[in-house]
């Protein structure tokens, strides 16, 4: 590599994408039919890095209004310094919650950018502790009928050779224990005795109820018991852990290292989500914290975010191959990983960074307006063709819809998230694996779709979609019709003039 001044981060481009699910989905405490992704592109010269988070579109406004000035103009190699600067900038603006989602997306984009600048896969930049990254198939939603559940489980265990699978239980806030156990029985009969079987209650049970259900686990060989009670109930987690032989796991809603430190003594495996906890910078630190407590770390969702960092972690348990996120990432990106045999091999082909390239037609079809400062101070709207790199093709535009759309603007007739009502005297509302939980919970994240790194610039100024797109058939094909491309926004630091 030639010596010289370090490249600087010149701009952040932010985009909000909405992906309908391929069928209705639910866990123990919520139901949903859509997943929202906030996609960030960090630019330095001709190089671009991608990062993303799943959750509220409002995170896009946090990137443009609060974080961009902390990152632009800074060395693209000093990712930990940028992470710390963003962390401090969010002190009075909800570092846990929306701020954490936004910070995480930027951090991931910066690591992807750095690896692309150096011309190496991100796993090689971190340094490998393993060549293969084990995954487990995850989905098995409580609203699936027997046929849907069987097809999904066979797809993982038989078609892809994944030796670990997980289903959702705790249906209707834990009020349908008999059906939970019937579905566990069906899952075991479907995948056979040689596949590890996991369950995730999403915090739907009380501690005593969780213990009562777990008494049947030995019959079905259940190995993993995720969030049997709310992840906020540390004493409850400890009680369940002491009473069952299955490994108790939690941690996906952690935003800070003190959160993980408090949880480590009451779980058998710590979970962390790089799209929430502060990006890959903090995710790797959570792995070190887990190792200090004698624990392994499991990556929650967003498999293409975690795969490269997971290869660097000596105490990795596995990465969640979550149905919604896998479907979205396969739809959105070229260069996705293959889980055949139950392992990912990130960077095996030598492609720099995360190895992903976004498909312009998918960005156009599922994108909507990203928020920011309407004055243009930190957010600049750029017409197609003015971003660094070639402009992506766009679909026909509706002149009447070319205005800026705020990321939180409601869309008529589009149900985004429907929490299930808690029964009288029920548990405190737990976090769901999917966006927009019941009021009063920390803003969770969606167990649905994410994206990758270093593409040409994202498509520019196109109108936001007026409404919902039809769900795409299968994993990859784009749905019929579609909406015009949404506007791309560029955030720059103070004193930088917009490059129009």
pLDDT tens, residue by residue, 88-104: 999 998 889 999 999 99
Q: Sorting pLDDT into bands at 50, 70 and 90, what band is 320? A: very high
* Residue 17: per-residue pLDDT: 98
Least confident range of 15-24, 274-283, 361-370: 361-370
Mean pLDDT for the stretch of residues 230-238:
98
Pick from 37-41, 122-126, 250-254, 374-378: least confident: 374-378
- Mean local confidence (pLDDT), 209-229: 98
Q: Is the pLDDT of residue 156 over 60?
A: yes
How sure is the predictor about 191, in pLDDT bands with cuts at 50, 70 and 90?
very high
472 pLDDT tier (thresholds 50, 70, 90): very low
For residues 439-458, average pLDDT: 39
**What's the pLDDT at 94?**
82
* pLDDT tops 70 at residue 198: yes
Q: Which residue has the higher pLDDT, 333 or 373?
A: 333
pLDDT(225) > 50: yes
Q: What is the 3-state secondary structure (H, E, C) of the chain?
A: CCCCCCCECCEEEEEEEEEEEEEEEECCCEEEEEEEEEEEEEEECCEEEEEEEECCCHHHHHHHHHHHHHHCCCECCCHHHHHHHHHHHCCCCCHHHHHHHHHHHHHHHHHHHHHHHHCCEHHHHHCCCCCCEEEEEECCCCCCCHHHHHHHHHHHHHHCCCCEEEEECCHHHHCCHHHHHHHHHHHHHHHCCCCEEEEECCCCCCHHHHHHHHCCHHHHCEEEEECCCCCCCHHHHHHHHHHCCCEEEECCCCCCHHHHHHHHHHCCEEEECCCCCCHHHHHHHHHHHHHHCCCEEEECCCHHHHHHHHCCCCCEEEEEEEHHHHHHHHHHEECCCCCHHHEECCCCCCCCECCCEECHHHHHHHEECCCCCCCCCCCEECCCCCCCCCCCCCCCCCHHHCCCCCCCCCCCCCCCEEECCCCCCCCCCCCCCCCCCCCCCCCCCCCCCCCCCCCCCCCCCCCCCCCCCCCCCCCCCCCCCCCCCCCCEEECCCCCCCCC
**479 or 128: whose pLDDT is higher?**
128
pLDDT score of 271: 98
- The pLDDT tens digits of the residues spanning 337-362 come to 999 999 999 999 999 999 999 999 99
Residue 369 pLDDT level (bands cut at 50, 70, 90): low
**Mean pLDDT score, 110-129:** 98
- Mean pLDDT value across residues 301-327: 98
pLDDT above 60 for 482? no
Average pLDDT value over all residues in the chain: 81
Split at pLDDT 50, 70, 90, the class of 491 is very low
Q: How confident is the model at residue 293 (pLDDT cuts 50, 70, 90)?
A: very high
Supply the pTM of this predicted model.
0.77
pLDDT tens-digit readout, 398-438: 322 222 223 333 332 223 334 444 444 444 443 434 433 33
Q: Per-residue pLDDT averaged across 454-481, rounded?
A: 38
Higher pLDDT, 271 or 402: 271
């Amino acid at each position: 590599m030639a010596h010289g001044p370090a490249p600087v981060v010149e701009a952040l481009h932010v985009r909000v994408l909405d992906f309908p699910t391929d069928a209705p989905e639910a866990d123990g405490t919520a139901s949903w039919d859509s997943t929202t992704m906030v996609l960030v592109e960090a630019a330095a010269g001709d190089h671009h890095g991608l990062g993303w988070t799943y959750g509220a579109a409002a995170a896009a406004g946090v990137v443009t209004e609060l974080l961009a000035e902390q990152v632009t103009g800074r060395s693209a190699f000093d990712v930990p310094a940028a992470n710390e600067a963003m962390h401090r900038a969010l002190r009075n603006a909800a570092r846990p919650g929306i701020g954490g989602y936004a910070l995480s997306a930027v951090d991931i984009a910066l690591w992807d950018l750095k690896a692309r600048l150096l011309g190496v896969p991100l796993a090689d930049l971190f340094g490998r502790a393993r060549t293969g990254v084990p995954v487990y198939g995850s989905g098995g939603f409580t609203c699936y009928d027997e046929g849907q559940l069987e097809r999904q489980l066979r797809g993982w265990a038989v078609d892809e050779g994944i030796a670990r699978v997980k289903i959702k239980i705790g249906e209707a806030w834990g009020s349908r224990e008999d059906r939970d156990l019937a579905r566990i029985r069906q899952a075991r009969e479907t995948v056979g005795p040689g596949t590890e079987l996991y369950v995730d209650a999403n915090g739907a049970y009380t501690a005593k109820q969780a213990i009562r259900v777990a008494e049947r686990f030995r019959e079905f060989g259940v190995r993993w018991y995720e969030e049997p009670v709310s992840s906020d109930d540390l004493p409850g987690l400890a009680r369940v852990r002491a009473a069952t032989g299955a490994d108790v796991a939690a941690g996906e809603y952690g935003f800070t290292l003190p959160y993980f430190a408090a949880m480590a003594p009451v779980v058998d495996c710590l979970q962390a989500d790089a799209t929430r906890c502060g990006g890959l910078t903090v995710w790797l630190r959570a792995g070190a914290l887990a190792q200090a407590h004698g624990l392994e770390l499991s990556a929650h969702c967003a498999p293409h975010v975690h795969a490269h960092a997971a290869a660097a972690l000596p105490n990795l348990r596995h990465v969640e191959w979550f149905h919604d996120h896998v479907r979205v990432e396969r739809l959105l990106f070229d260069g996705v990983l293959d889980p055949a045999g139950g392992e990912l091999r990130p960077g095996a082909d030598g492609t720099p960074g995360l190895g992903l390239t976004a498909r312009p037609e998918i960005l156009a079809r599922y994108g909507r307006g990203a928020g920011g400062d309407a004055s243009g101070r930190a957010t600049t709207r750029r017409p197609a063709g003015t971003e660094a790199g070639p402009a992506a093709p766009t679909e026909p535009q509706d002149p009447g819809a070319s205005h800026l759309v705020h990321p939180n603007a409601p869309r008529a007739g589009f149900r985004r998230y429907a929490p299930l009502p808690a029964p009288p005297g029920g548990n405190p509302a737990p976090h769901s694996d999917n966006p927009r939980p019941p009021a009063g919970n920390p803003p969770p994240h969606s167990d649905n779709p994410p994206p990758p790194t270093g593409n040409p610039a994202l498509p520019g100024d196109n109108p936001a979609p007026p409404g919902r797109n039809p769900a795409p058939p299968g994993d990859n094909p784009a749905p019929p019709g579609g909406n015009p491309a949404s506007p791309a926004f560029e955030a720059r630091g103070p004193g930088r003039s917009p490059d129009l």
